[in-house]
Structure 1
Amino acid sequence: MSDEINDAWVLENSKVQPQKIDSPPPIADSKKRKSPPTGNGQSKKQQKVQEKKAPENRAVYVTNLPSDATVEEIEDVFKRFGMIDQGVDGNPRIKMYENDKGEFNGEALVVYFKKDSVNLAITLLDGYEFRLGDTTNGTINIQEADNTYKKNNDGIKIANKLVRKERKAAQTSRAEMQRKLAEWSDNESEVEKTYAVKKNKHAKMCIIKKAFILDDLEEDVRAILEIKEDMRNAASKCGDVTKVVLYDHEPEGIVVVRFTEFEAAELFRQQYHGKRYNNDNLQVTIADDKPKFKKSSKGGDDSDDGGRKVEPTLEDYNSEASTSL
């Protein structure tokens, strides 16, 4: 009997006691749940997609272009500020708008390859003549274009019609533009200097009127040298001077001063226009063409050689200027 009790006790205690097991986590639904809508009724995913698709504006809208302007001419002007994008057909993305008669209306859209070119073109070309020195059409107006031009993009229509070979050619053209872009300078000031609108070379000259009276020149043979030296001394305070010419056959009393830099000419105009000299107020303007005034050989050489010449001074005549600026 005792053996049976012992066997029962061993059997009872040999049973493995059940262990407490935590409840497993709920099985996640294999289907992804949509993100709850935000305040504007869009999910976060939809918002992210829209943010990724936000277009980068790389176009400028130009108005007041000459009616006879061509695509090639527009391209030559605007490519100074950056690479112009190419369509899948390989042509520059320049759209010229027409009126009801099918004639160019003076407005155009230019699409650049990089957005940085937009600001550069606006800064350096807005308010300038399209054709340097030609003011018959006024100045052109440039502004950043809105993105509506993308809605009716001719390039998209062409792309849908391209065959495989043409698509490959378009991709090659795009790769070539990327290569050229890699060579583009990261120095914005250098780019601005290199691709700035070319200035009229004559703008380095200042035309000064009312610098003398013809009768005074006839009474004093040294007056020409005195006036020229006065003008040279005053102009030298603004920059390097290469030439001073006095037109002694002009009743308006004209003297022309040529500088080495455009900025010096502009500074001289700002400082000396309206200044009192020889009992009159000087009238100083920037030249927009080669001066064509009348003078004798006494007034100096007005040839447009651009070189630095040494002119006779009052010291050569042992005299000092009687008037000064």
Structure 2
Amino acid sequence: MSDTPAAFPTSVDDFDTDDRISWSKVDNKYIMEETNGNEWEFDTELKRWVQTVDKDLLEQQSKAYQVPGVDESEDTKEKAKSKKRKKPDSGQDGKPKKEFQNTAVYVTSLPLDATKEEIEEVFSRYGLIAESIDTEDKRVKMYTDDDGNFTGEALVIYYRPESVQLAINMLDDTDFNFRQGPNGKMKVQEADVSFKKHKAEDEGEKKEPKKQSRVDKETKQRYEKRQAQKLADWGDEGDIEPSKQPGANNPKLARTLVLKHMFTLHELEEDPEAENDIKEDIMEESLKFGEVEVVYVFNMEVAGVAVVRFAEPSSALKCAKAFNGRQFDGRSVVAYIADGTERFKRTKKDQHAEEERRIARFAKELESGALAKDFDDDGQRIDNNGQNNGDE
């Protein structure tokens, strides 16, 4: 039986804030269940957590010491039954058990020259990265070897669990900022406690239990308020045309794909039909992943930006996964789901058309001499009453 981990709270006042802890009405005591399946009971007299005996282990030990001719199965079943934990119904006096939700991803094969700022920038595209409760430092852990050199492995902790699968879908088996790590493309997977424990042992970190300072409720409340505000700002600081006011829950963003390095401004200037050709190519490729509502080419962006809006978010995700890192006319494409924090510029076709119509109309009038009668010999415009409107 392992020792009580230092991270387990021992004050009853702190139990409400720990998702792993619930109240068992059957045993009339607090129960803690770790993500690895280990279960603990809180001993109120000793003021410490005691690990419970696993049912299978109990049966194995019973068989090992079983006396021939004596049937102990009935007693064993009764004992095992008494150890069974039941989740209390909502509304009863017991505290309902909260399901643990993972919010972290474990990343391997990052480029060895990658910086924390780069990792934050890439992974923050798919969700708000959590911060330290006491400071505003992003919770990104870069692992190093005994000499302090980065190993290409990192742990990224998001504020919301929904960001985990999105980051995996978008970043797993892709290049990191056009670079690869020691083992090729980076791998992104859901993290669990075994990753952090394994890395700590490899690095010789904190082998002895470390006494943690208790974070008071006011500090945690301030942290939650700060993170909630940043979560709102994360999807509401800018807009991606034509979605004018995207928010954190704007459904258009989930199905809007941003593509970069699809063209150069020189290409658009050199060939008037290039913009339409690019749009048609993107539409043709995007339709392989689902229904497409519209494709925009932002012809004033040096980064060669195009935006594709799908009918379904799943189609946008699949397309982003396929496009990201793909070569297009010798350029490496960057593809990701819109987060509402960027503004892209383009000249609209109706503006072009109106300007062209105005110029054509003016040229036609000049050719026909229709404008000549409106000016006198000195080039001054004459009004409808035949009066000269020039300066006195």
Calculate the TM-score normalised by the size of structure 1: 0.45
Q: TM-score, normalised by structure 2?
A: 0.39
Bigger radius of gyration among the two: 1
> Which structure exhibits the higher relative contact order, with contacts defined as CA atoms closer than 8 Å and separated by 6 or more residues?
1
